[in-house]
Amino acid sequence: MYKVTINGLDVEVEQGATVFEAAEKAGIYIPTLCYHPDLPTFGGCRVCMVEADGKIVTACRAPVTDGMVVKTDTEEVRKVRLTNVELILASHHKDCQSCSRNNTCKLQEVSAFVGINQDRMRQIRRSVEPVKPDDSNPFFHRDFTRCILCGICIRTCQEINGVAAIDFAFRGFHTKVSVLGDKPLKDSQCESCGECLVRCPTGALYLAEPAVAEREVESVCTYCGVGCGIKLGVRGDRVIKVEGNRDNQVNRGDLCVKGRFGFGFINHPDRLTKPLIKKDGIFVKTSWDEALDFIVDKMSDIKARHGADSLGGISSARCTNEENYLFQKLFRAMGTNNVDHCARL
Amino acid sequence: MTNSIDDIADEAKAFFIIGSNTTETHPVIGYRIRRAIKNGTKLIVADPRRIKIAESADVFLQLKPGTNAALLQGMAKVILDEKLYNEVFIKNRTEGFEEYAKKIGAIDLNEMADITGVPAEKIAEAARIYAGSEPAAILYTMGITQHTSGTDNVLALAGLATLTGNLGKRGGGVNPLRGQNNVQGACDVGALPNVFPGYQPVSSPEANKKFSEAYGAEIPDQPGMPMTKMFKAALEGKIKGIYVMGENPVVSEPDICKIKDAMEKLELVIVQDLFFTETADYADVVLPAASFAEKDGTFVNTERRIQRGRKAINPPGEAKSDFKILSELGQKLGLKGFNFSSPAEALQEIGELNPKWKGVTYERLEEGGICWPCPEENHPGTPILYGEKFLTGSGKAQFKAVEYKPPAEVPDAEYPLILTTGRSLYHYHTGTMTRRSDGLSDLYDVEKALISLEDAKNLGLSENDRVILSSRRGEVEAEVKPVSDLKEGTVFMTFHFAETCANQLTNSELDPVANIPELKVCTVKMEKV
Amino acid sequence: MIQKFDTIEKEALEALEKEQNNDIPQIYVGCATCGNATGAQSVVQTIKNKLKKEDFKAEIKEVGCIGMCFAEVLVDVIKPGQPRVSYHGVTPEIAEEIVESYVINDDHRPDLALGYFGEGGPEDVERIDAGDVFKNQQRVILKNCGVIDPENINEYIARGGYRGLAEALEMKQEDIIGVLKDSGLRGRGGAGFPAGRKWESCLKPQADQKYVICNADEGDPGAFMDRSVLEGDPHSVIEGMIIAGYTIGSSKGYFYVRAEYPLAIKRLRRAIAQAKEKNLLGENILGTGFNFELEIFQGAGAFVCGESTALVMSIEGNRGWPKPLPRPRTTEEGLWGKPTLLNNVKTFSVVPQILSKGAEWFRGIGTEGSPGTAVFALTGKINRSGLIEVPMGIELDKIIHEIGGGILDDRKFKAVQTGGPSGGCLPEDKLHLSVDFDTLLEAGSMMGSGGMVVIDETTCMVDVARYFLDFTFEESCGQCVPCRQGTQQMLEVLNDICEGRGREGDIEHLLELGDAIIKGSICGLGQTAPNPVLSTIQYFQDEYEAHIKDHTCPALVCKNLIVYHIDEEKCTACGRCRKACPVEAISGEKKVPHKIDQELCTKCGICFQECPERFSAVERLTGKENLAAAARGRLTDV
């Protein structure tokens, strides 16, 4: 273990820990924009600069040494950080209210921390070039004027799901996040998993239909057998978004395109809302009582006439354990083992 | 799965993926595999298609559809010949090695190469990687099982894992990735014709007695019919009424024409679903069910982890959860034990009847999922099976050499192409849910038959040309897309699209043990429209 | 082994003797990129044609650049027993005359000659090597440039080439490093890191593979030292790299050359093939069992790829981005994660000479802290621009006024810019400073890789700063915020200042930005990008203030801050300006003084140039009042 002093506080950390991790352990906030705990460090935003043993370093990358003395709030550190954030804001979209990440934006958080002030900003030349967003993907879009080029989306695409559909393109001030050949995202290798969207620190990546939930309900994804933990975002009687549950042991927050975006069927107008019964070849709406009574009569009649084994039940690999249990119980209690489900398909 | 996703992803030194398009069908496991490969884990992929994950493979074996057993026995042969097996494991934990080694030893690797279309050297290379990496995990899905030889294929895989001692240890195992979110659970709780909850055979006198008493009924001690046979029985008039809950057989079953005939013949068809499905057309009564977001309950994932689903919103209109519908129906039918106050109570009853689930309760699931077997309240669950003994009489793994058997249909002059079916990243099963989720259809909205570049050239087809694909059972009109991922003679389609229904063509021949249809191989011909 | 080389050397000399007939005139044409750009190839063709037509025998050699760019195309003639006579500004027509008059006959044409080299030349032309251009120079790295045929390995060997390698192969690796350390050689790429130490740190790590990379990604505007060496003496660099490979235990070297240097690449290719043919490169070099292969990697011309980690990324096929600190040293984990020795072209090229002549010899040149020579590309408002090589420690003044021949048109010197976009500007009172790594750095500039731009009074210092900032802005890789956004911000502010939109507080703003960019940037590009601005503010703050407060450009350069005006008293209504004006902004009739319509004027400056000097009626005015008056259309009121 290494002993590190940060702003006069002593903290012990593992060898190989970074200054940022040491500060985190000591409960000291260091602003960052391009750092993400899931990803390898990038070191491009230069906002986490601190003084370590008299030298200015990036806290996210600099490893601690034993006995290191770190100062996170010297005048020099404050100045460098402030200028960096001012520079980012200089080419950043001005309107926070219309941004999907208003109030949850990392750039807002960091701006508040470094203390952006109007007088200083007046000296800054602001240049936000109007660029058309990439809205080719049906689920999420990219607003280049809100992108801070932290590379988190790129690293996510490389490291989290291994698709590597996006990368930096062009150089210097003209740098942007792009797919091969600077085509629309839809025409790339992108698998639309939305992991980049989740990690974007600003509103550069945003949901095609912005959705802020009233409440969240933990559940399990309804699609494949991986069983990813999800959080259903609810507004009124609608599920308006799905997020990965980072606390779930199975997926730790990761989701695929279906799990994250394929929830539209839940509130779809095609949903059946009343029992239907076929009368003279035409389906008509009916009451639950009538429908269930019809079933009871018919099933009892068939059983009476042909025996229980003339009935068959097809259960569902998409229903719950309890429902499947009840379903098999119902058929077995009727006296037949003719019960199965779509396990083989 | 014998193992958990975590231990495989984090600790395997090699993956052997066969018959699984993992990055599309189990994307989140796909992420983990790609990450592991980045960190140096080796990868063997065997598939008739050059699927995406094949790009990352150290060895890619593009075998002919339906030749899995030949490939696997070939690998076993190399492992035996080159003495790459795990002697200690074989000595301590297995039975029947001598006979197995004798049978496999007699195989000619070059013959296996001919059958599979994979060069012998590649088969050997794959065997060396698999046997030379400790531990190594096998991952498979329907590409292995949906064959008339499905059971043999699985046995052959188990043979490889047994030879190399890759059972009962972290990072190893034989791991079927389950396709649907609760296919494991549906099996676990007895939605199968031959077993009660917890895989207790209906034919076991003890089990039969236990359940007959619990359910207050006389349950037959002979297995019932699997779904695949029910429709045949319906055609023969032996089945008169079918209750379909949350399933769409007129799209998902093989040989759809026959299924439709059977449905028409039935006296009673009950369909219970979220939507008016293609199957609902044949129903006498359709019951509106609740989606997963509208009900409480538990699900079991592919690694046997029981997890809690929670109700987020109310069902629309008068729709009810399947649980509620079944409870009410059971009571109306005058059956005993259908008066549940909540799914939690039903889970308790499952635990009472299934010892492997005894320790699982809703309270515990609040803390996170539990992998069964979990026999007691304070048992942590069992992420890895067969750590100490196997479920055989002796507790030892039994070697069983299988023989390669060709698929039920092989190409001939009339039907010269092999159709193999599968799934897409953007859709799920018969598309009832995904095709009603905006966006997914924007990314994948038309089903195209994928054909090899060679076949495209031979048949004079180019992208978007319309063709009629026909088999001995039916025909489908579709657009084609020539791709380099397929070898000559192979056609690929998904079964997500009812209007381009690949299952019009597929073969309903069954594996004799598992009763699984041979959806992965049927022969077809193709004609330009 | 040495014997083996002796044989090679002997063969080379014999071959040369056979190839070259010294009994006939030798004609050298400077055919580096600079010469070719000025028309050297057509001169070569003309000479060949002429000789053929006259049926006269003479040797023609295409040589590299001797450094006198001001005098291109250069044709030198050596007649048997005569000193080398140099002709400058040669066109095909002049070339014919030279062949006719001097090559065939004996008129050395003092009207066309620049001078001669060596002793015993004609009295009516200057002796060049004793003159201002060369007497202060010491040509070590450039010793073969412009002298030998770079496409003939025998000529290189004849001048002592590859002997350093032969000797090195007899030495222990540690001893080679010892010699380098003793010599005090510092890397010629700009930062001046001690070469011996770098080589040593690359020798130490154990690895199955190590790499040697020659950084020939020369990208400073106006700098062409490396190109000249590669074009004029490629074998010296190759020899240095082979020695490096042997020393650190590497079997593979890369030339990272920008693709914009096609001639350098062509000559390198040929030189590599020739060295292989002679068993000086490739497998089992000189029978020692040592293998070394060289490959040329063409860079796509990104300035930042001159930075060592970005260069390595680029060879690996990645985006050419520098790796942020902390990162492993390239000498320990460089190309493909293997120990990698990366030096500049000039560093490698001088190594063979150090090994054959000894550390003492090298230390004898230059200063204590910076031994050896410095190569500069001397350009700007100077009479003799070109490529020069001087001993470290020489005064700036000597370079500019003696070698460079002083300021063009006898104008006033204002500043000298060294170190390219990473360097700074030094004013007149710094001209006494000695040229070496440390002194220049202290004064707020740097050696850099060797650009030296002379600035006179007609140059606006804010505009100069803007020029360099525009370069770094365009060349920033975009990885880190301070460089990507900071250079853009600085450029915007400088644009504003130059265009009359400067605000109070902008100087402080620039200083603060500069500080943050230097401290915050990942790599040397960003860390030095503000230097041109900071040094011009340091020495020429008054010019910035004049621009901001008074909208005055003292050098009368910044278009938006000047107006053109015709002095009625001086104007003779000759009409030249009126006819020349491309936008017809000038009105006036015969005998009526002309006027400029300020609304139409685009400030192209043609009228100013057209107005005969004896009248000098067109004047440039600057300052708030003049600008305001011009805007009101009543400039004469002022």
Whether B279 has a pLDDT exceeding 60, the answer reads: yes
Over the stretch B354-391, which tens digit does the pLDDT of each residue have? 999 999 999 999 999 999 999 999 999 998 888 888 88
| C508: CB partners within 8 A, 6+ apart | none
B45 lies in the same domain as B169? yes
Rounded to whole angstroms, the Cα distance separating B379 from C543 reads 81
Contacts 24+ apart (CB under 8 A), B377-384: B381/B305, B382/B304, B383/B3, B383/B4, B383/B6, B383/B7, B383/B303, B383/B304, B383/B305, B384/B2, B384/B3, B384/B4, B384/B7, B384/B168, B384/B169, B384/B170, B384/B173
Identify whether residues B248 and B160 lie together within a single domain: no
| Contact assignment for B323 to A320 by CB distance below 8 Å | yes
Strands B285-288 and C26-30: unpaired
Cβ separation B318–A227 shorter than 8 A: no
φ/ψ (deg, to 5) at A30:
-120, 125
Instruction: Please state, for a pLDDT cut of 70, what percent of chain A lies above it.
Output: 100
Q: Do B312 and A192 touch (CB under 8 A)?
A: no
Tally of domains within chain C: 5
> CATH number, domain at C190?
3.40.50.11540
In angstroms, rounded to a whole number, what is the distance separating the alpha carbons of residues A62 and A18? 5
Diameter over CA atoms, chain A: 93
Residue B517 in domain: yes
Q: What are phi and psi of C413, to 5 degrees?
A: -65, 140
Token look-up 């196997």 returns B390
Range of lowest pLDDT (A145-154, B109-118, B256-265, C115-124): C115-124
Question: Do B162 and B91 fall within a single domain?
Answer: yes
Reported as half-sphere exposure (CB side, CA atoms, 13 A), residue B13 has a value of 10
Which residues 248-267 of A are in CB contact (within 8 Å) with B? 248-251, 254-259, 261-267
Say whether both B143 and B190 belong to one domain: no
Q: Which of residues B359, B376, B393 is at a domain's end? A: B376
Closest-CA distance of chain A to residue C507, Å: 11
Strand order in the sheet with A339-341: A282-285, A276-279, B285-288, B268-273, B241-245, A311-315, A339-341
Chain C residues touching residue A173 (CB < 8 angstroms):
473, 476, 478, 484-485, 487-488
All domains in chain A, ordered by first residue = 2-123 (3.10.20.740), 140-207 (3.30.70.20), 215-261 (2.20.25.90), 276-344 (no CATH)
Task: Give me the CATH number covering residue C619.
Answer: 3.30.70.20
Best to test chain C binding among A173, A175, A202 (most C CBs inside 10 Å): A173
Same domain, yes or no, for B189 and B297?
Answer: yes
> In this structure, are C265 and C165 located in the same domain?
yes
Separation between Cα atoms, residue B143 and residue B160, nearest integer Å: 17
Residues of C in contact with A87 (CB under 8 A): 481-482, 485-486, 489, 513, 516
Where a domain ends, among C396, C427, C456? C456
Q: Is the pLDDT of residue B56 over 90?
A: yes
C438, C456, C474 — which closes off a domain? C456
Helices and strands (H, E) in chain A, number of each type: 9, 16
H/E element holding B23?
helix B22-25
CA–CA gap between residue C533 and residue C531 (Å, rounded): 5
Same domain membership, residue C604 and residue C580:
yes
For the record, the structure tokens of C121 come out as 């030349």
Could you tell me if the ipTM is greater than 0.90?
A: yes
Average model confidence (pLDDT) across chain B: 95
**Beta strand spans in chain A (E):** 2-6, 9-13, 49-52, 55-58, 69-71, 140-142, 166-169, 176-179, 205-207, 215-220, 229-235, 238-244, 276-279, 282-285, 311-315, 339-341
Chain B contact partners (≥3 CB pairs within 8 A): A
Residue A51 CA to residue B180 CA, distance in Å, equals 53
Sign of CA dihedral C576, C579, C584, C589: positive
Residue with tokens 């009343």: A274
Residue C231 is encoded by which pair of tokens? Answer: 């074009």
Q: Cα(B491)–Cα(B161) distance, rounded to whole angstroms?
A: 31
CB-based contact (8 Å) between A7 and chain B? no
Q: Are residues C451 and C470 in the same domain?
A: no
Non-local (6+) Cβ contacts of C545 within 8 A are C507
Q: Which residues pair with A69 in a beta bridge?
A: A5
Q: Helix (H, G, I), strand (E, B), or coil: what is residue A311?
A: strand
Does residue B340 lie in a domain region? yes
For residue B361, give the 3-state DSSP assignment: coil
Identify which of A225, A293, A299 has the shortest CB distance to residue B177. A225
CA distance C11 to B521: 74
- pLDDT at residue A106 tops 80: yes
The answer, yes or no, to whether residue B470 has pLDDT greater than 90, is: yes
CB–CB contact A234 B313 (8 Å): yes
pLDDT along chain C (638 residues), means of 10: 88 86 89 91 94 92 89 92 92 94 91 90 88 90 91 93 94 95 92 93 94 93 90 96 96 95 95 96 95 96 91 94 90 94 96 94 94 93 93 94 92 92 90 90 83 93 95 95 96 96 96 95 94 94 96 95 92 92 91 90 93 92 90 64
d(CA A201, CA C269): 49
Confidence (pLDDT) at C638: 45
Nearest to A291 by CA among C511, C154, B19, B286: B286
Contacts of A294 in chain B (CB under 8 A): 284-285
Q: Which of B147, B162, B177 is the last residue of a domain?
A: B177
Same domain, C304 and C409: no
Cis (ω within 30 of 0) for the bond into C73? yes
A84 and C515 within 8 Å at the Cβ level: the answer is no
Q: Residue B229 maps to which CATH number?
A: 3.40.50.740
Q: Does residue C510 share a domain with residue C568?
A: no
Instruction: Report the CATH number that the domain containing residue C536 is assigned in CATH.
Output: 1.20.1440.230
- Amino acid making up residue B178: R
The reported pLDDT for the residue numbered C168 is 94
| Residue numbers of the domain that contains C270 | 161-363
Tell me if C512 sits within 8 A of A79, measured CB to CB. yes
Are residues C202 and C317 both part of a single domain? yes
Cα A277 from Cα A254, distance rounded (Å): 42
- How many folded domains does chain B comprise? 4
What is the Cα–Cα distance from A320 to A326, expressed in whole angstroms?
A: 10
Q: Which of residues 75-114 of B touch A (CB under 8 A)?
A: none
Residue B507 tokens read as 């073969």
- Which residues lie across from C254 on neighbouring strands? C213, C295
CATH of the domain at B437: 2.40.40.20
| C389 and C321 belong to one structural domain | no
Q: Are C27 and C90 part of one and the same domain?
A: yes
Looking at the DSSP assignment, which residues form a beta bridge with residue A164? none
State whether B191 and B94 are in the same domain.
no
| Shortest distance, CA A328 to any CA of chain B (angstroms) | 5
Q: Is the dihedral of CA C525, C527, C528, C533 positive or negative?
A: positive
Distance in Å from the first CA to the final CA of chain C = 84
From B288, B309, B334, give the residue that closes a domain.
B288
Q: Which of C322, C345, C363 corresponds to the end of one domain?
A: C363
Lowest mean pLDDT among A20-34, A265-279, B265-279, B431-445: B431-445
First to last CA, chain B: 45
Q: Are residues C277 and C259 in the same domain?
A: yes
Query: Are C62 and C78 contained in the same domain?
Result: yes
- Rg over alpha carbons for chain B, rounded to the nearest Å, is 24
CB < 8 Å to A88, chain C: 481, 485
Instruction: Name the residue among C4, C17, C2 with its Cα closest to residue C278.
Output: C4
pLDDT of amino acid C636: 58
Quick one: how far is CA B351 from the chain centroid?
Answer: 26
**Do the domain assignments include residue C137?**
no
| R_g (Cα) of chain A, nearest Å | 28
- Helix boundaries (H) for chain A: 19-25, 75-90, 106-114, 118-123, 152-159, 195-199, 257-261, 288-306, 321-334
Same domain assignment for residues C543 and C581: no
Range of the domain at B71: 5-177
- What is the chain B residue with the closest CA to A264? B437
Bridge-partner residues for B241, per DSSP? A311, B268
Q: Which of residues 108-137 of A touch B (CB under 8 A)?
A: none
Asked whether residue C275 is assigned to any structural domain, the reply reads yes
Q: Same structural domain for residues B266 and B359?
A: no
At C634 the pLDDT is 67
Are residue B514 and residue B452 in the same domain, yes or no?
yes
Does residue C428 lie in a domain region?
yes
Beta-strand relationship, C424-427 and C413-418: antiparallel
Q: Are residues B325 and B218 in the same domain?
A: yes
Smallest Cβ–Cβ distance between A272 and the set B193, B288, B313 belongs to B288
Are C509 and C566 part of one and the same domain?
A: no
Q: How many CB atoms lie within 10 A of CB C542?
A: 10
The CATH number linked to C110 is 3.40.30.10
| Distance from C-alpha of B303 to C-alpha of B300, rounded to nearest angstrom | 8
| pLDDT band (50, 70, 90) for residue B227 | very high
